[in-house]
Each structure stands twice: as structure tokens, then as C-alpha cells.
């Protein structure tokens, strides 16, 4: 025991103890003040008195310190003994019950490279989903062509109202790209084909059977299949549209060779679901999905992880993928931002991205041999009474989720997050790849002098609002525009919110003036609407930036 004490203090004697430093400083101070306060006559007498006092203080300090260190070592040793008996790890408990903090703080050597992103902004909204999962029974499920950017507004339908389909049966295809199939998530009767203006197809609604029938695509081990066979299976089963191509954000061309396939394992949008919670225990299925992706793009599957979080083994235990660690505010969780910091997309390169829950569905396809579209989605928002997670199937109606679960009637339902989600009705359906339903207040009230004296707290990136100085506080939000659309006035704002090495304002102006060279040169290939959504939120001129971005992307794709 004494031996161990010597060992421990041996290391400490290298640095001068702060207690020692303080007491020696106190002595010098005592001496100097006594010196100043002296009369010359009594100099020597008072000097020795204060020195003695100082010495006594010093000795007492050293003794106290010594006792503390001794006691600390005894404590540590006994903790270790008890821990060994009980079979628990000793270090954590030792750290917790230490009397004397370590002199030189023990720094965890950073084993991994963390990319720290400074630009961006986090908005905190009330009504985060609680970590419990409930089963959701929905009568109807829908597939919406609008969920697939680039698809022609009137896809060619293979079913009509009244037809019966199985889960995995094809519903429609884009006549410009007839090889890509879009399938039904459940079996049942095609109840309704909702059309919008100019006969565009808005939704294909299916009334689900009580017991679901699945089309059989055959179980397989992805590692044993060729790339061609994998592509066939994905397309046939209707899971190919899970992949999103950058640039342009469209369904990728199977013949392309992507530079990489990227998965961001965390979502930083407000109220976004926690993938680690949703996917816990599904390690094998996720790994299978990763194996599939690896066959598509050998050895180039990348996963972006949140350095500020301890990820579940479902992500960290993956084999065959390269990990990247990020930390920072939204939009750090966006694939586009992460890709930019790893290996920016150049002209004529393509990157495919996919969301974690979609990888799970692909894994399930190969494991079970069928298109099992079940997933856990989060219901969140400031107007939800009990925000939580629901186990349901893609395209489910939110009717049963929100029935008697709202604090207010006049709300907006959003499939997706508040920045990039799509507005749906109270009996609307969740989008194809969405894993979040947000419900916020509809803000269609006038506010007197609202621009000068806001009558309720609202999220803002501007320090002219008090809420800026209370960041982290959850707010109630509504859909009010808080102003009118104006030309671009403020400059330098988008640069603070978009962590991409470019000039965002000039990119938008290049799109508006149809300047192709400038668009390309300023990085339109690297961006999608979701990356500039935060800029759109913050823009004081209320410019429709996501719409402009989509215009630009379509222009470059077609032009």
C-alpha cells in the first residue's frame, strides 16, 4: 500500500502542486505587505514574525495535501479490490470517487479524425419524440411521384383504381426512365389515384389488406451475387429509388459508376429521429444492406458519424465501410456537407447517397426475399400531445397518429422535417423515404408591429432577438413568413450557414441569371435543396432559395 502511494506521488512531484504554488505565493505576499507596512525600526522583528506565520501555513498546506493524497490512494485501491470481486470495471468508479483531482488532466488521445464544422445553426423546437415505440395501424398507404425529383409529373400507371396489388408489385414508371420501377409498399386494393392540376398524378392510395401478401423476390446473400444481379434485384423490388444521386438529387442511373456511396448516420434537422434508437438490435440487417451497397460500388461505402454522440453498434460495428466523424450544427448531418469535406464532387462525377432506414429495408429485402416496407418513424412537433416513435409501414396515413394527439386544431402537418419536408393533410401519407412527421402551428394571424416588437419568441439567427442569446431553449414555431419577399439585401449571411467553400449568394444569382459556367464553377454539383434549406430559413428577404436551387439543378441537368 505504501509502495503504491510512493508510486503515485512520484508522478505528481514532477509538477508543482497548485497548493504549493498558492501557499508560496501567500508567503511572498505576506512578507511583502509586511515589508511595506513597516516602520524601519521594527523591520526585523515583524519580518521574522510574518515569515514564521508563512512557513507554518506552508507546512500545514503540505501536510493537508499529503493526507488527501494518501487517503485518495487508499480509496482507489479499495475500490479496485471491491470492483474485482464484483466483476465491474474499476476505472470509471475510481474516477468518480477521487478525492484529489489529477494534477495533469488525462487527455483522451483522439484516435479518430473529427471534422469540426463551424458554420450552420441549430433551431430547437418543442416536442421532441420520446424514446418509445408504438404500433401504428393504418388503413391506407400511398406512393407519391412528387417524392422522386426529376420524375415526369404524369408517370405511366400500370394499375388503375380497383386493382389488387401485392407488396412489391409495380405501380408506375417514369416514361423517360422506364427501367426504374416504383412499387406498392403493401398489398391491397388501389383505392384512389389522386390527380392534381393538368392530370399530374399526386398520390396512388392503396387500401391495405388485413394480412399482407408479398411478392417473392428470392432471398440471397449479397456477397454471392454479381453487381448486375444486385442491380436487377433492387430495381425489380422497387428499392432502387432509395438511392439518391448527387448532383441533381434524382434516382441514379444503374449504369453509372459512383465515386462513392454515402450514408449519414445522424440527422441534425430540428426534431429529427434518432437512428441509433430506431435501429438498435438490427445490426445484422444493416450489415446485409451495407454488403449490398458494397457490391454496387466495391469498397467505396462511407458512413458519416456524429463525434458528439456514442453511436450504437449497428453503425460502429459495420464491416466494409469507411467511417468519418463530424461535429457541428445543422446542416452537418447532411450527406452533401459531409461529402464536401471528405472528397468534393467534381464535374462528371456522381455520388449516391442513401438514408440509414432505407439501407435497413434493402437488408430486409435480401434477408427475407420480399419488399418489407416496415419502418419506425417519429412523430414530433410543438403541437403534438405525445410525441413518440411509431412502428408502421412506408407511406402510411398519419390519421391514426395525430387523432386526439394534438394540442391545437389549426396546424400544419409535414412529412419530413420543417426545412425540407412536404406539407400533407390530416389524413395525408408519409413520404417515400421520410422518417419523421412534424406538426407545427399554422401561423396565419396578423401581428401588430411584429417586426419591431415580436409578441412571442421565435427562432432566429439574428442577435436582434432575445432568443438568440438563449440558444438551446426549445421554442414553439409556426409557419408565418415573418415578413414579405424582397430582393436580396443582406450579404454574408448565407456564408455563415452553409459550410461549403463557395459563394452561396452568387450561386443563387447565377441560377437566376442562367449563367451556366458560374453555376458550375460555384459548386452546384455539390448541393441539393436540403443543403440550402437553412439559408432559406434564415433569409430576411424571404427568398425561395430551395426553389431557386431546384431550378438551377434542373437547368444544368437538362441543359
Partner 1 sequence: MKKLLRQFFDNMEPKARKNKYLYTTFQAFHTFLFVPNHVTRNGSHIRDGMDIKRLMVHVVIAMQLALLFGMYNIGHWHYAAYGEYTGLAEGIIPKFLFGFFQLLPVIIVAHAVGLGIEFFFAANRGGEVEEGFLVTGMLIPLIMPPDLPLWMTALATAFAVILAKEAFGGTGQNILNVALASRVFVFFAYPTFISGDTCWITWDTNILHRLFGLGAKVAEYGPESSAVVQGFSGATPLGLAASGLQTGEKTLQGLDAITHQFSWWEMFFGFIPGSVGETSAFLIILGAVLLLVTRIASWRIMLSMFAGAVFVGLVFNFMGLNPFLQIPWYYQLVMGSFFFAMAFMATDPVTAAHTNQGKIVYGFMIGVMGMIIRVLNPAYPEGWMLAILLMNVFAPTFDHIFIQKNIKKRLARG
Contacts to partner 1 from residues 424-443, by CB under 8 A:
438, 440, 442-443
| Beta carbons of 289 and 363 less than 8 angstroms apart | yes
Q: Is 200 in the site for partner 1 (CB under 8 A)?
A: no
- In terms of CB distance, is 254 or 457 closer to partner 1? 457
CB of 257 to partner 1, least distance (A): 16
CB of 424 to partner 1, least distance (A): 11
Task: State the CB neighbour count (10 A cutoff) for residue 403.
Answer: 10
CB of 245 to partner 1, least distance (A): 17
Chain position carrying cell 444544368: 556
CB of 524 to partner 1, least distance (A): 10
CA 388 to chain centre: 17
Q: In what order do the strands lie in the sheet with 322-327?
A: 114-116, 322-327, 301-306, 260-264, 351-353, 244-246
- In terms of CB distance, is 250 or 538 closer to partner 1? 538
- In terms of CB distance, is 293 or 522 closer to partner 1? 522
- In terms of CB distance, is 124 or 277 closer to partner 1? 124
CA 559 to CA 44: how far, in whole Å?
95
Which of 98, 89, 45, 94 is closest to 68 using CA atoms? Answer: 98
E strand residue ranges, 67-219: 114-116, 130-135, 140-143, 156-157, 164-165, 170-174, 177-183, 188-195, 201-208
- In terms of CB distance, is 41 or 517 closer to partner 1? 517
Q: Is 516 in the site for partner 1 (CB under 8 A)?
A: no
CA 291 to CA 233: how far, in whole Å?
14
Q: Is 412 in the site for partner 1 (CB under 8 A)?
A: yes
CB of 432 to partner 1, least distance (A): 19
Question: Which range binds partner 1 by CB under 8 A, 52-60, 316-324, 386-394, 503-511?
Answer: 503-511
CA 208 to CA 552: how far, in whole Å?
39
Q: Is 558 in the site for partner 1 (CB under 8 A)?
A: no
CB of 479 to partner 1, least distance (A): 4
CB of 8 to partner 1, least distance (A): 50
CB of 440 to partner 1, least distance (A): 7
Out of 59, 445, 471, 514, the residue judged to bind partner 1 by CB under 8 A: 445
- In terms of CB distance, is 149 or 254 closer to partner 1? 149
> What residues numbered 120-139 form the site for partner 1, per CB under 8 A?
123
CA 397 to chain centre: 25
- In terms of CB distance, is 14 or 448 closer to partner 1? 448
Out of 150, 153, 254, 521, the residue judged to bind partner 1 by CB under 8 A: 521
Chain position carrying cell 400533407: 424
Q: Is 495 in the site for partner 1 (CB under 8 A)?
A: yes
Binding to partner 1 by CB under 8 A, coded x per residue (else -) over 455-494, reads: ---xxxxxxxx-----------xxxxxxxx-xxxxxxx--
CB of 489 to partner 1, least distance (A): 5
Q: Is 446 exposed, middle or buried (0-12, 13-18, 19+ CB in 10 A)?
A: exposed
- In terms of CB distance, is 217 or 413 closer to partner 1? 413
Q: In what order do the strands lie in the sheet with 388-393?
A: 130-135, 388-393, 374-380, 436-441, 411-415, 422-424
Task: State the CB neighbour count (10 A cutoff) for residue 476.
Answer: 17
> What residues numbered 337-366 form the site for partner 1, per CB under 8 A?
344, 346-349
Could you tell me whether strands 301-306 and 188-195 are parallel, antiparallel, or unpaired per DSSP bridges? unpaired
- In terms of CB distance, is 254 or 521 closer to partner 1? 521
Half-sphere exposure of 66 toward its Cβ, with a 13 Å CA cutoff? 8
Count of residues engaged in binding partner 1, rule: CB under 8 A: 75
Q: Is 334 in the site for partner 1 (CB under 8 A)?
A: no
Out of 221, 257, 501, 514, the residue judged to bind partner 1 by CB under 8 A: 501
Question: What is the DSSP track for 390-434?
Answer: EEEETTBBSHHHHTT-BS-SSEEEEES-TTT-EEE-TT-B--TT-
- In terms of CB distance, is 103 or 489 closer to partner 1? 489
Region at 328 (left for phi over 0; alpha for psi -120 to 50; beta for the rest): left
| Beta carbons of 259 and 247 less than 8 angstroms apart | no
Out of 7, 223, 403, 547, the residue judged to bind partner 1 by CB under 8 A: 547
Q: Is 104 in the site for partner 1 (CB under 8 A)?
A: no
| Beta carbons of 247 and 336 less than 8 angstroms apart | no
Q: Is 551 in the site for partner 1 (CB under 8 A)?
A: no
- In terms of CB distance, is 268 or 420 closer to partner 1? 420
Out of 40, 108, 299, 451, the residue judged to bind partner 1 by CB under 8 A: 451
CA 337 to CA 262: how far, in whole Å?
11
Amino acid at each position: 500500500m505504501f509502495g503504491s502511494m510512493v508510486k503515485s506521488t512520484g508522478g505528481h512531484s514532477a509538477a508543482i502542486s497548485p497548493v504549493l504554488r498558492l501557499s508560496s505565493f501567500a508567503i511572498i505576499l505576506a512578507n511583502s505587505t509586511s515589508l511595506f507596512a513597516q516602520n524601519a525600526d521594527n523591520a526585523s522583528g515583524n519580518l521574522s514574525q510574518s515569515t514564521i506565520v508563512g512557513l507554518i501555513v506552508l507546512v500545514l498546506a503540505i501536510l493537508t495535501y499529503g493526507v488527501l493524497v494518501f487517503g485518495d490512494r487508499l480509496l482507489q485501491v479499495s475500490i479496485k479490490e471491491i470492483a474485482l470481486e464484483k466483476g465491474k470495471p474499476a476505472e470509471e468508479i475510481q474516477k468518480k470517487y477521487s478525492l484529489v483531482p489529477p494534477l495533469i488532466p488525462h487527455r483522451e488521445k483522439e484516435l479518430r479524425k473529427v471534422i469540426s464544422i463551424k458554420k450552420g445553426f441549430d433551431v430547437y423546437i418543442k416536442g421532441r419524440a420520446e424514446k418509445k415505440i408504438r404500433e401504428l395501424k393504418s388503413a391506407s398507404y400511398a406512393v407519391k411521384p412528387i417524392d422522386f425529383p426529376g420524375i415526369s409529373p404524369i408517370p405511366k400507371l400500370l394499375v388503375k383504381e380497383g386493382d389488387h396489388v401485392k407488396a412489391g408489385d409495380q405501380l408506375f414508371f417514369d416514361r423517360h426512365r422506364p427501367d426504374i420501377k416504383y412499387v406498392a409498399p403493401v398489398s391491397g386494393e388501389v383505392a384512389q389515384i389522386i390527380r392534381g392540376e393538368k392530370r399530374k398524378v399526386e398520390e396512388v392510395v392503396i387500401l391495405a389488406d388485413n394480412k399482407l401478401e408479398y411478392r417473392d423476390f428470392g432471398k440471397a446473400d449479397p456477397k454471392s451475387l454479381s453487381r448486375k444481379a444486385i442491380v436487377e434485384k433492387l430495381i425489380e423490388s422497387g428499392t432502387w429509388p432509395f438511392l439518391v444521386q448527387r448532383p441533381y438529387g434524382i434516382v441514379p442511373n444503374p449504369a453509372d459508376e459512383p465515386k462513392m456511396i454515402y450514408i449519414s448516420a445522424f440527422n441534425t434537422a430540428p426534431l429529427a429521429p434518432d437512428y441509433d434508437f430506431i435501429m438498435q438490435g438490427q445490426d445484422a440487417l444493416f450489415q446485409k444492406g451495407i454488403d449490398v451497397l458494397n457490391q454496387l460500388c466495391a469498397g467505396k461505402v462511407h458512413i458519416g458519424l456524429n463525434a458528439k454522440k456514442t453511436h450504437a453498434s449497428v453503425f460502429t460495428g459495420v464491416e466494409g465501410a469507411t467511417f468519418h466523424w463530424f461535429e457541428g450544427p445543422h446542416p452537418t448531418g447532411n450527406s452533401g456537407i459531409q461529402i464536401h469535406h471528405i472528397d468534393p464532387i467534381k464535374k462528371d462525377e456522381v455520388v449516391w447517397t442513401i438514408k440509414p432506414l432505407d439501407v435497413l429495408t434493402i437488408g430486409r429485402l435480401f434477408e427475407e426475399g420480399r419488399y418489407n416496407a416496415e419502418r419506425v418513424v417519429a412523430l414530433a412537433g410543438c403541437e403534438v400531445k405525445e410525441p413518440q416513435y411509431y412502428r408502421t409501414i412506408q407511406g402510411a396515413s398519419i390519421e391514426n397518429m395525430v387523432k386526439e394527439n394534438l394540442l391545437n386544431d389549426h396546424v400544419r402537418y409535414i412529412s419530413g422535417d420543417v426545412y425540407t419536408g412536404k406539407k400533407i393533410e390530416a389524413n395525408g401519407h408519409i413520404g417515400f423515404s421520410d422518417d419523421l412527421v412534424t406538426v407545427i402551428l399554422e401561423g396565419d394571424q396578423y401581428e401588430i408591429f411584429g417586426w419591431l416588437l415580436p409578441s412571442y419568441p421565435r427562432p432566429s439567427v439574428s442577435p436582434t432577438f432575445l432568443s438568440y442569446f438563449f440558444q438551446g431553449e426549445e421554442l414553439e414555431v409556426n409557419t408565418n413568413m415573418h415578413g414579405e419577399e424582397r430582393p436580396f439585401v443582406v450579404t454574408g449571411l448565407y456564408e455563415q450557414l452553409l459550410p461549403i467553400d463557395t459563394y452561396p449568394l452568387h450561386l443563387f444569382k447565377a441560377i437566376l441569371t442562367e449563367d451556366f459556367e458560374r453555376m458550375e464553377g460555384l459548386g452546384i454539383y455539390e448541393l441539393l435543396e436540403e443543403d440550402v434549406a437553412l439559408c432559406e430559413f434564415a433569409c430576411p428577404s424571404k427568398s425561395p432559395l430551395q426553389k431557386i436551387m431546384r431550378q438551377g439543378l434542373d437547368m444544368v441537368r437538362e441543359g
